[in-house]
């Protein structure tokens, strides 16, 4: 199609191009899909839509001209079947039931907030840690949201790497980083990931899960958070992971985790909340006479301009790990995966106690 804009030169949108964009948007295509058809960047399509007033809805509802409505029960049946269809094609799950057959201890690293392209993310140590975690056979990884910063989506001009690196290349970098972890058990979407999706670009977390499953590396997608009923050997562990939850406190780092136990699921064995980079930590507590591990997932983004302005302390590049016993239900927890790997090696080398 002539008159299509490129990635770096002046944009010249013809009437033909505008008509095509309007048609594709009415059919529910995202900006990323339209950009691929035109051979331009999603940002160019976004700017064109802003400038010309093309409807910005991701999915336009087409209402048929029904002269005589069907009987109410038949109509209700249509709606129920439609919802079933949407659920069937939605990759997100609120609950998943993975299994790993072993009688040994295993490790589960719960980590998030990569914000990998932000200039205040320690990307070098993040890559090193991902490779070290991925090299361990009996260690799994749960990503707890905010894979990228996507600062140019909402806060243009504040993040130089996001301006330099085209969004398509950032996608490829994410897939490459995730490829270091063959045992990526589950992924959760964060608020930055959601901004990207809601602006019509891409559900990057869903796409990451899809690409891994295409390669035979099963990964569960828990949406904005959910529960893993992780069966390890003879024991099943109930692990709740959310990018963020309410009730942040200046004096109790684990208050969001406690509130989850109080209001949502008192039977969880592990509750992991991310989002606040400066509050990485692990707490082994008892809730209703049951041992529970509370985790504030770590981050390698040590500071942001917003956090500095608000008076937050800088984050330490840590990836917490919980150890799960496959022989019987028993947990240990470490604030950093390095200590967790050492403990895992020690526990699996010890001779199990004989049952009396």
3-state secondary structure the chain: CCCCCCCCCCCCCCHHHHHHHHHHHHCCCCHHHHHHHHCCCHHHHHHHHHHHCCCCCCCCCCCCCCCCCCCHHHHHHHHHHHHHHHHHHCCECCEECCEECCCCEEEEEEECCCCCCCCCECHHHHHHHHHHHHCCCCEEEEECCCCCCCHHHHCCCCCHHHHHCCHHHHHHHHHHHHCCCCCEEEECCCHHHHHHHHCCCCCHHHHHHHHHHHCCCCCEECCCEEEEEEEECCEEEEEEEECCCCCCCCCCCCHHHHHHHHHCCCCCCEEEECCCHHHCEEEEEEECCEEEEEEECEECECCCHHHHHHCCCCCCECCCEEEEECCCCCEEEECCHHHHHHHHHHHHHCCCCCCC
Judgement on whether residues 213 and 75 belong to the same structural domain of the protein: no
**Claim to verify: residue 240 and residue 329 sit in the same structural domain:** yes
Residue that terminates a domain, selected from 90, 110, 130: 90
Predicted local distance difference test score (pLDDT) of residue 271? 98
The CA–CA distances, whole Å, from 32 to 14, 173, 198, 235 equal 19, 17, 12, 44
206 and 238 in a single domain? The answer is yes
The CATH number that applies at residue 336 is: 3.60.21.10
Same domain, 114 and 70: no
If asked whether residues 248 and 100 sit together in one domain, one would say: yes
Return the pLDDT at 166.
Answer: 76
- Whether residue 6 lies inside any domain: the answer is no
217 band by pLDDT with thresholds 50, 70 and 90: confident
Q: What is the pLDDT of residues 110-167, one digit of tens each?
A: 999 999 888 788 999 999 999 999 999 999 999 999 998 875 444 444 455 555 677 7
Task: Please check whether residues 80 and 220 belong to one and the same domain.
Answer: no
Is 337 inside any structural domain? yes
Q: Which of 56, 71, 90 marks a domain boundary?
A: 90
Q: Is the pLDDT of residue 9 over 60?
A: no
For position 151, what pLDDT does the model report? 58
What is the CB neighbour count within 10 angstroms for residue 79?
Answer: 9
Compute the average pLDDT of residues 206-224.
91
Judged against a pLDDT cut of 60, whether residue 4 lies above it is answered with no
In a domain, 354, yes or no: no
**Mean pLDDT estimate for the chain:** 84
194 Cβ neighbours under 8 A, 6+ residues apart: 224
Domain that holds residue 56: 11-90
Please check whether residues 71 and 115 belong to one and the same domain: no
- Same domain? For 120 and 163 the reply is yes
Q: What percent of the chain has pLDDT over 90?
A: 47
Q: What is the pLDDT of residue 181?
A: 95
What is the model's pLDDT at position 327? 96
The verdict on residue 39 lying in a domain is: yes
Query: Which of 345, 321, 316 shows the shortest CA–CA distance to 331?
Result: 321
Q: What is the pLDDT of residues 221-241, one digit of tens each?
A: 999 999 999 999 999 999 999
For residue 355, being part of any structural domain is answered with: no
CA separation for the pair 199, 155 (Å, rounded): 13
> Does 340 share its domain with 261?
yes
- pLDDT value for 304: 67
Question: Average pLDDT in the 156-181 region?
Answer: 75
Q: How confident is the model over 77-93, as pLDDT tens digits?
A: 989 998 988 888 888 89
Instruction: Identify the domain boundary among 35, 66, 90.
Output: 90
| Number of domains making up the chain | 2
User: Is 97 in the same domain as 85?
Assistant: no
319 and 219 fall within a common domain: yes
User: Domain check: are 77 and 103 in the same one?
Assistant: no
pLDDT tens-place string over residues 11-54: 467 788 778 888 777 666 777 778 877 778 887 888 887 777 66
* Mean pLDDT confidence for 244-260: 90
């Amino acid at each position: 199609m002539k008159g299509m804009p490129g990635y770096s030169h002046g944009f010249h949108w013809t009437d033909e191009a505008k008509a095509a964009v309007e048609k594709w948007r009415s059919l529910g295509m995202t900006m990323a899909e339209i950009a691929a058809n035109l051979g331009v960047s999603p940002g160019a399509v976004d700017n064109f839509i802003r400038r010309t007033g093309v409807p910005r809805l991701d999915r336009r509802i087409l209402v048929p001209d029904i002269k005589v409505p069907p009987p109410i029960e038949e109509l209700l049946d249509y709606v129920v079947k439609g919802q079933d269809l949407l659920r069937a094609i939605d990759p997100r799950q609120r609950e998943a039931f993975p299994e790993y057959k072993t009688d040994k201890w295993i490790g589960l690293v719960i980590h998030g907030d990569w914000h990998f392209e932000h200039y205040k993310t320690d990307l070098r140590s993040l890559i090193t840690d991902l490779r070290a975690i991925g090299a361990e056979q009996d260690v799994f990884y749960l990503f707890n949201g905010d894979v990228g910063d996507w600062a140019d989506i909402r806060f243009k001009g504040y993040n130089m790497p996001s301006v330099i690196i085209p969004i398509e290349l950032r996608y490829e970098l994410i897939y490459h980083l995730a490829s270091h972890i063959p045992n990526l058990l589950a992924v959760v979407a964060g608020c930055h990931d959601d901004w990207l999706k809601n602006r019509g670009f891409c559900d990057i977390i869903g796409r990451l899960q899809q690409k891994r499953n295409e390669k035979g590396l099963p990964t569960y997608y828990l949406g904005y958070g959910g529960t893993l009923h992780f069966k390890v050997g003879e024991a099943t562990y109930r692990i709740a992971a959310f990018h963020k939850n309410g009730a942040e406190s200046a004096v109790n780092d684990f208050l969001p985790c406690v509130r989850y136990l109080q209001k949502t699921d008192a039977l969880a064995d592990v509750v992991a909340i991310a989002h606040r980079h400066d509050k990485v930590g692990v707490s082994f507590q008892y809730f209703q006479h049951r041992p529970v591990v509370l985790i504030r997932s770590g981050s390698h983004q040590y500071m942001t301009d917003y956090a500095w302005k608000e008076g937050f302390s800088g984050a330490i590049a840590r990836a917490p790990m919980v150890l799960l016993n496959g022989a019987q239900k028993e947990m240990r927890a470490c604030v950093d995966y390095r200590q967790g790997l050492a403990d895992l090696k020690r526990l699996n080398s010890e001779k199990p106690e004989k049952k009396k």
